[in-house]
């Protein structure tokens, strides 16, 4: 783990890596948004965050009745690799922010947090797919695990984005005018 974190800190100085994963994330995110647009963003978010089995089941039934379930299912073509793109991008941005602020290496393990979010996302995806393909599989425990993972993902990603904003904000305040860029 320490070698992986050190690698991420070292690679954050490469703009190519940031641009590569940033581009993959953007294309993936836009693709997902286009595919699930007929489902509706509110419906999509409620399905991911409800802890009520009745609400989850009603949302799934509604998707089938409106004829948009296939759009939701199609988004998994992108969403099973999407966590890799955003985890790498967040880890690289976080590592770069840590480098710009000379954060000691003992904090390198924080670079694993984006991958925890990605792992939560994969749990959510697998369980949602299992329940949506066959609605007889919708169970309270599965909804709790899947959507608990989804909520955990959003919390970890939010903390990561906040940390990145704080690190870059600190760096911008300290940086002399005309000083080196990213």
pLDDT tens digits for 74-119? 999 999 999 999 999 999 999 999 999 999 999 999 999 999 999 9
pLDDT grade for 158, boundaries at 50, 70 and 90: very high
Phi and psi at 175, nearest 5°, equal -70, 130
Q: Between residues 178 and 84, which one has the greater pLDDT?
A: 84
Rounded Cα distance, 87 and 110, in Å: 12
Crossing angle (nearest 10°) for helices 113-133 and 82-100? 160
Does residue 179 have a pLDDT over 60? no
Q: CB 65: neighbour CB atoms within 10 A?
A: 9
């Amino acid at each position: 783990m320490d070698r992986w974190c050190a690698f991420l800190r070292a690679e954050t100085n490469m703009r190519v890596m940031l641009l590569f994963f940033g581009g993959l994330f953007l294309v993936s995110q836009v693709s997902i948004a286009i595919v699930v647009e007929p489902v509706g963003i509110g419906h999509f978010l409620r399905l991911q965050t409800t802890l009520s089995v009745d609400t989850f089941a009603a949302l799934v039934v509604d998707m089938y009745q409106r004829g948009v379930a296939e759009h939701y299912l199609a988004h998994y073509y992108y969403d099973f690799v999407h966590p890799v793109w955003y985890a790498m991008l967040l880890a690289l941005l976080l590592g770069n922010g840590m480098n710009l602020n000379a954060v000691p290496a003992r904090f390198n393990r924080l670079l694993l947090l984006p991958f925890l979010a990605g792992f939560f996302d994969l749990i959510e995806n697998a369980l949602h797919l299992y329940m949506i393909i066959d609605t007889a599989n919708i169970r309270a425990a599965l909804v709790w695990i899947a959507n608990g993972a989804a909520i955990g993902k959003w919390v970890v990603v939010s903390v990561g984005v906040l940390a990145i904003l704080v690190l870059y904000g600190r760096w911008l305040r300290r940086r002399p005018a005309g000083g080196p860029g990213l």
